[in-house]
Amino acid sequence: MNRIQTDVPGAPLVDVRGLCKSYGPKTVLDDVTLMIRPGEVVGLVGPNGAGKTTLIRILSGMSRPSNGEGSVLGRDVRSTSGDLPFMGLMVERPMFIETLSGRKNLELLFGIRGAVEPTVASDVLRRVGLDPHDSKPVRTYSLGMRQRLSLAQAIGERPRLVVLDEPTNGLDPRGIVEMRSLVRELADVDGMGVLLTSHLLQEVEAVCDRVILLHHGRAQHVYEPSTTLDSVVLVLEVASVEDVGRVASVETVDVVGSDGPTRMRIRVREAVPDVVRMLVMADVGIEAIHRDSAGLERAYMESVGA
Amino acid sequence: MKQTLALIRMELARLFLSRRWFAAVAMWGLVGKLAADEVRSHAFNAGIEGWSVFDAHAALVNNMFFVGFLLLTTFVMIACDSLARDRETRLAHVVMARAGSRWRWWVGKAVPMVLAAVVFQVGVLGASLALAAYEGGEMTRKPSAFARGETGKQDVMAQLFFTPAHPGTDMLVREVGTSLYLSLGFTAIGMAVLALSARFPVSWLPGLASVGVVLLDRILGWFIHGSWYTWVSPSARLLEAMHSAAVVDDPLPLWSSLLWWVTLLVLSAIVGVRTLQRVDI
């Protein structure tokens, strides 16, 4: 069995190569390679039917690849026997025991592995923004509350790997912001590896270290919003047309597009604070500057050929 | 072992705290009332003053429409679709990741279904006794004229379709025994349905399969005349009276039915778990 040492700090939690899955003549996953390390948030985006759910099923041991190799939490991804890997799974349409409270549901779920303290259910409910003393049955929960409860069951037992399928589905704007910071916290503070799927590209871009664009079962593109300096694009709005010329004169900046006479998109070749400092030194009148959140959107549209 | 017990506990909570049991209570009430009415009208036709509350249950469990269609379908829809439903909603992923193995998950589904079959039959018995008492049945454990088969001697149309009891029979014990027998039959059929949904995870399939198989069995039973068909027919074996020489010409030995149900139960459990090991969840 291909077993890797996942207890070593930094060793990959997921390390799979060339995964393929076919149902008869139909190929739903084609040569997908994926690595997730502790503390890393990896996004998985693609149109419906792109193979995201199939990939998650294979990683969680619910489905076996037709081809490919590697391991998930130390378990051979092709294995047909032995224990399944334990990972936190947040599914898209969360179902619970409708007549019980959220806390009681969590206690029953956590009881299966029996490895957590009795207070864990209350603690994790608080963490996701639900009241642990709320005795209302789950059937009265809104979709947003169900999503939070689903997240709670996924992270409550502190798994090393968490798979979040459309976690912001049904959340209000505040809930989306909270979810975003919680996902980052899971990776940065708790050291979990996170695989996240979503159709909200800006959210994915904001929270992920790496994004895999899946289309027709193939990983078309790996987009790295924050780690690849070349890919950092800023939207810059300046005070006057003269400032546009001054921007172009700054060596560490490439103007890659304009959205009006005084508004442009620039690609930076240095760290963003250094670039801002250089722009100020070049006497550029900066009215506004922010990261271009449409980068993933463009990469996505190019990948899916729309 | 602890994991398996916790899984069973969770599934029991899911199963028995479901509001679907309101449908079961309604069905118990309906068949209990219909059976009690039937006994009462037969008593009137036969000119019998007293009839026992147990007569209603004895009549009920020997009525193919009640047992094979109404009760069996209700049971299957309540207790046998969770495997398919969990796969549709992907709750199976969440639970199975904790269960650690597909085998444990299967046991966690099968054991509560067995308990549900027993509870379901207890409900049928309880509801029929309560409604028979309400309809005027006597609260006695001694067999009534109906149960002893005496009414049939006077008027064959007045005799209900169930095995005559000896005068010393404790009717409570007899009807509890019949309920346990039906629990075994329902469990075996429920296990076959679970095995089917391991291969075809569609939540509406179990109920449809149950009705379809019994309907097909009944239709074939009308056209195929011969005792051999009674031996292979699953629905005929559900009826207690089919084992009585006092009721049918060619009765089935009780041991053959017990063996039939146990074989179906064990084979379905094996096929189900083997299927589940192979399929994508």
In 3D space, the residue among B55, B64, B69 whose CA is nearest the CA of residue B27 turns out to be: B69
Contact assignment for A57 to B3 by CB distance below 8 Å: no
| pLDDT tens by residue, A21-68 | 998 889 999 999 999 999 999 999 888 888 888 999 899 888 889 999
Q: Is the pLDDT of residue B184 over 60?
A: yes
| pLDDT tens by residue, B80-107 | 988 888 888 888 888 888 888 888 999 9
Residue A197 is which amino acid?
A: T
Residue A223 has a pLDDT of 73
Contact assignment for B13 to A108 by CB distance below 8 Å: yes
Give the up-direction half-sphere exposure of residue A172: CA atoms within 13 A in the CB hemisphere.
4
- Ranges of each domain in chain B: 2-278
> Exposure string (b/e) for B47-56, b if CB count within 10 Å is 16 or more?
ebeebbbbbb
- Ranges of each domain in chain A: 14-223, 229-304
What predicted TM-score, i.e. pTM, was given to this entire model? 0.81
Judging contacts by C-beta atoms under 8 Å, the chain B residues touching residue A100 are: 13, 17
Q: Residue holding tokens 């006077």?
A: B154
Give the whole-angstrom CA distance, residue B252 versus residue B241. Answer: 9
User: 3-state class of A89 per DSSP?
Assistant: strand
User: 3-state class of B217 per DSSP?
Assistant: helix
Tell me the two tokens of residue B229: 């068909």
Q: Is the pLDDT of residue B110 over 80?
A: yes
Alpha helices in chain B (DSSP H): 2-16, 21-46, 53-60, 64, 72-79, 82-89, 91-99, 102-134, 145-148, 150-154, 171-199, 205-223, 227-232, 234-238, 254-278
Q: Number of A:B CB contacts under 8 A?
A: 82
Smallest Cβ–Cβ distance between B90 and the set A91, A100, A108 belongs to A91
CATH topology (fold) of A14-223 = Rossmann fold (3.40.50)
Give the pLDDT band of residue A218 (cuts 50, 70, 90).
confident
| pLDDT tens by residue, B10-55 | 999 989 988 889 999 999 999 999 999 988 888 777 777 778 899 8
The share of chain B scoring above pLDDT 70, in percent, equals 96
- DSSP calls for A252-270: TEEEEEEEETTEEEEEESS
Crossing angle of helices B102-134 and B72-79, in 10° steps, is 140
* Preferred mutation among B12, B98, B101, B203 to probe A, highest tally of A CBs within 10 A: B98
Residue A40 has a pLDDT of 92
Q: Is the pLDDT of residue B113 over 50?
A: yes
Give the whole-angstrom CA distance, residue A221 versus residue A226. Answer: 15
A136 in contact with B, Cβ within 8 Å:
no
A281 in contact with B, Cβ within 8 Å:
no
Q: Is the pLDDT of residue A204 over 80?
A: yes
Contact assignment for B94 to A89 by CB distance below 8 Å: yes
> In angstroms, what separates the C-alpha of B124 from chain A's closest C-alpha?
24
* Preferred mutation among A84, A158, A160 to probe B, highest tally of B CBs within 10 A: A84
| pLDDT tens by residue, B139-151 | 888 888 777 777 6
In whole angstroms, what separates CA B99 from the centre of its chain?
30
Cα three-residue angle A99-A105-A111, rounded to 5 degrees: 140
> In angstroms, what separates the C-alpha of B266 from chain A's closest C-alpha?
22
In whole angstroms, what separates CA B24 from the centre of its chain?
12
> In angstroms, what separates the C-alpha of B213 from chain A's closest C-alpha?
30
Judging contacts by C-beta atoms under 8 Å, the chain A residues touching residue B106 are: none
Residue A7 has a pLDDT of 46
Strands laid side by side in the A286-291 sheet: A253-260, A263-268, A233-238, A286-291
In this predicted complex, what is the ipTM? 0.79
- Strands, E, within chain A: which ranges? 14-23, 26-36, 41-45, 67-72, 75-76, 88-90, 161-165, 193-197, 210-215, 218-223, 233-238, 253-260, 263-268, 286-291
| pLDDT tens by residue, A232-267 | 778 899 999 889 889 988 888 888 788 788 898 888
Residue A80 has a pLDDT of 65
| pLDDT tens by residue, A162-192 | 999 988 888 888 888 888 889 999 999 999 9
- What's the mean per-residue pLDDT of chain A? 85
Residue A138 has a pLDDT of 92
Query: Which residue does chain A place closest to B281, by CA atoms?
Result: A62
Q: Is the pLDDT of residue A137 over 90?
A: yes
Q: Residue holding tokens 């959220």?
A: A102
CATH match of A229-304 with 3.30.70.100: yes
Cβ under 8 Å to B: A residues 67-96: 80, 82-87, 89, 91-93, 95
Tell me the two tokens of residue B226: 């011969």
Residue B111 has a pLDDT of 95
CA distances (Å), A86 to each of A14, A62, A73, A292, B276, in order?
12, 12, 8, 37, 19
Tell me the two tokens of residue A116: 């957590």
Give the whole-angstrom CA distance, residue B11 versus residue B110. Answer: 9
